[in-house]
Amino acid sequence: MKAEWAAIYGKYLQGEKLNIGCANNHEPGFINLDANPDTKPDVVHDLECPPLPFRDAQFDCVLGSHIFEHVSGFIPLMEDLHRIIKPGGFLIAVTPYGSCDGAWDNPHHVRGFGENTWYYFDQDLYRGDNAGNGATEGYKGNFKVEQLILVPLPEFANDPEIEFKKRHWRNVIQEVHAVLRRA
């Protein structure tokens, strides 16, 4: 794992860990899963075909780096991740930012992610008098956003006007890093 990621996410990387869509990025101490057997993962499974081959509440932490933007069946995958993550466990998701050209240049990407995307997996958004009341109609799962980091492109890293620029310009933010806690 990248040293800077280990420093940021180390407190979440406890217990039994799963790295989904690992490709050739096998993480030591993780069960590495990928659909492509040529990458020699520990487990071969297509994320488009839940359920994942794991027992309920098996993992303390699941890492998905640059995989969610490739998954057409994103909601069913999120429901299954909720199933296999222990209550109080974590999902670490790294995705390209939707207003960055890199999010859409790849023809295999099927969705973009913004700074609010991950909040839609919190059932509290859909309860009571909130605007989304009833919108999930059967979505099974509940994640709370524990941490959210927007990673700017290097030329904007120390820009004092980054808040304005990320709202009005393209290609300011490169990635969204989200840590979700399974409720």
- Domain with 175, as residue range(s), is 3-182
Which region among 13-17, 38-42, 128-132 has the lowest average model confidence (pLDDT)? 128-132
* pLDDT value of residue 134: 55
DSSP of the chain: --HHHHHHHGGG--SSEEEET-TT-PPTTEEEEES-GGG--SEE--TTSPSPSS-TT-EEEEEEES-GGG-TTHHHHHHHHHHHEEEEEEEEEEEEBTTSHHHHHSTT----B-TTGGGGG-GGGGSTTSTTTTTTTT----EEEEEEEEEE-GGGTT-TTHHHHHHHSSSSEEEEEEEEEE-
In this structure, what token pair is assigned to residue 31? 């069960």
State pTM to two decimals: 0.93
Q: HSE on the CB side for 145, CA within 13 Å?
A: 16
Read off the pLDDT of residues 168-180 as tens digits, 9 standing for 90 and up: 999 999 999 999 9
| Domains in the chain, number | 1
CATH number of the domain bearing residue 31: 3.40.50.150
